[in-house]
Structure 1
Amino acid sequence: MTTTIYVDADACPVKSEIALIAKEFELHVYFIASYDHISNQEGKSGEWIFVDPGKDSADMYILNHIKREDVLITQDIGLASLALAKGVYALSHRGSEYKEESIQTALDFRYLAAKERERGHYGKGPKRFTSQDRCNFEKNLRRLLSKFEGV
């Protein structure tokens, strides 16, 4: 079975790193994005697939095509949880691997944060993406993909 990388690409800050690492490991990578993001992706590496601009269009495309032991790169905890149920490896853009044993807690926190926002209580938002986050992502993607070498 050949591992493929799927990227929820609309807001992914590590697209060039993914393309480079996929090339190193000789893996195919699909970047899935909405048509709203088509103009700024010309000339990028990997195979780009554009879907309707609807809120969940990219997620639905990914879930309909990804298979067991593929790799998903996403910031979307909900998408990661659905992919994990299919036997997929999922990694955040900061390099954190989503795991079956901890995804429910992450979903619960996401739900509680949404409830707080409904009440008008807004937090600080996500922390700034740093060069250390980029390094962590590269290191952890390589570590994850090294599991498949020689398979």
Structure 2
Amino acid sequence: MQILVDADACPSVVKDILFRAGPRVKVNVTLVANQFLRTPPSPFIRAIQVPSGFDVADARIVEMAEAGDLIITADIPLAAAVLAKGAHALDPRGEWFSAENIEERLTIRSMMDQLRSTGVDTGGPPPYSPRDGKQFAAQLDRFLARRS
């Protein structure tokens, strides 16, 4: 089992949580981004820089993902792709993507894209809060505890 992180838009607090958790439980954490990422020295943590381009990092994560892996992403289509491979997907706010909710999330995402394309301001997600970080840490800890 490994943890793959869609790191381009991942909050720093989530990366910090993963930087502590990976070595603690001896699980490899790989950040994938189209920009250089600084990581702490650890045999359990690495960063992969991919070329810029639409969904290049996502494609690399899907390519690397295997059944049982944990993928950290807020990207709904990426979550759907890794779920189809038997991986688990957790968003940085601590919400799980699952076979039961992914179709609904894809439908809502598509509807919001259509509204935006007609000029409707749909707003965006609320700012990342300390509560989001705590929720993420709690879900990650539960997941890792079940795996050990």
Q: Give your verdict on TM over 0.5.
A: yes
Paired with 1:43 and 1:105, the residues of 2 have a C-alpha distance of: 35
Q: Which residue identity does 1:12 align to in structure 2?
A: C
Mapping 1:1-150, distance limit 5 Å = 3-13=1-11, 14-34=14-34, 37-38=35-36, 41-44=37-40, 46-149=45-148
Q: What is the aligned-residue RMSD (CA, Å)?
A: 1.0
Q: 2:39–2:47: 8 Å Cα contact kept in structure 1?
A: no
Secondary structure at the counterpart of residue 120 of structure 2? coil
> Once the two structures are superposed, what CA deviation does each residue of 1:41-100 show, in whole Å capped at 9, x if it has no partner?
234452000001011110111111110000000010000001001100110000101110
Paired with 2:38 and 2:69, the residues of 1 have a C-alpha distance of: 25
Please report the TM-score for the alignment, with normalisation by the length of structure 2.
0.93
Secondary structure at the counterpart of residue 94 of structure 1? coil
Shift of 1:23: 1.6
Percent same amino acid at aligned positions? Answer: 33
Q: How many residues align?
A: 143
Gaps of 5+ in 2: none
Gaps of 5+ in 1: none
Q: After TM superposition, where is structure 1 displaced by more than 4 Å over at least 4 residues in a row?
A: none
Secondary structure at the counterpart of residue 123 of structure 1? coil
Secondary structure at the counterpart of residue 100 of structure 2? helix
Shift of 1:133: 0.2
